[in-house]
């Protein structure tokens, strides 16, 4: 009996810059998983260009791993990928191994629960959760209150343009914001 492949045909994301530019990575189907579009990623990483080398990054809802692998390819010092779905996390680990990216750590778990653990401050945090779950408000509060933010952090958020915008801690400052298709995305600092 043949094993079902981990990924479905056509589920691929491309690294668009850095050491692994052009590499395509597979990812399985999972409810709510939608990789950040190439054009949006290009804009985001232009915003982060000067802060990325050596930075500690957290991709809180990794999914395809597009944001985390892109950050590692462009010189981040360490990237933690957190993914709730065990099949998706297994594929992230397989992609990390395929590319030999020792700077990436993959963890499988729920983001809300994970943020209640003892904190390790990060310089850059990516948050692109499944839109239907409306998790950004709780995650931002926990990041802020539980010590997850480094001295001068950058926080990237994506949300459904036609849904509710997240409620953010009052001392977070919007640095950049754009819209693309059905998505609003922004970069904040504290």
| Model pLDDT for residues 132-185, shown as the tens digit of each residue | 778 999 999 999 999 999 999 999 999 999 888 899 999 999 999 999 988 999
- Residue 151 structure tokens: 């001295």
Q: Residue 38: what pLDDT?
A: 87
CATH architecture designation of domain 12-189? 3-Layer(aba) Sandwich (3.40)
Structural contact between residues 76 and 19, judged by C-beta atoms closer than 8 angstroms: no
pLDDT, averaged across the chain: 91
Given this model, what pLDDT does residue 29 score? 82
Tens of pLDDT, residue by residue over 77-114, are: 999 999 999 999 999 999 999 999 999 999 999 999 99
Give domain limits for the chain: 12-189
pLDDT of 70 over the 70 cut: yes
Reported as type and span, the H/E element at residue 90 is: helix 86-99
Q: Is the pLDDT of residue 9 over 50?
A: no
Read off the pTM.
Answer: 0.91
Distances (CA, A) of 49 to 18, 38, 42, 124, 163: 11, 16, 10, 12, 29
Reported as a pLDDT band with limits 50, 70 and 90, residue 67 is very high
């Amino acid at each position: 009996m043949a094993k079902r492949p981990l990924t479905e045909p056509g589920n691929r994301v491309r690294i668009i810059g850095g050491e692994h530019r052009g590499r395509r990575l597979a990812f399985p189907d999972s409810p709510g998983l939608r990789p950040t579009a190439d054009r949006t990623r290009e804009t985001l990483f232009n915003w982060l260009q000067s802060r990325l080398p050596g930075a500690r990054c957290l991709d809180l809802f990794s999914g395809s791993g597009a944001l985390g692998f892109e950050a590692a390819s462009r010189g981040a010092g360490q990237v933690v990928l957190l993914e709730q779905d065990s099949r998706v996390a297994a594929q992230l680990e397989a992609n990390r191994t395929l590319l030999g990216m020792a700077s990436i750590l993959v963890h499988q778990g729920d983001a809300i629960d994970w943020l209640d653990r003892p904190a390790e401050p990060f310089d850059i945090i990516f948050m692109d959760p499944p839109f239907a779950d409306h998790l950004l408000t709780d995650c931002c509060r926990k990041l802020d209150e539980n010590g997850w933010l480094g001295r001068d952090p950058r926080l990237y958020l994506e949300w459904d343009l036609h849904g509710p915008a997240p409620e953010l801690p009052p001392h977070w400052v919007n640095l950049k914001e754009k819209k693309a298709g059905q998505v609003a995305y922004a970069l904040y600092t504290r």
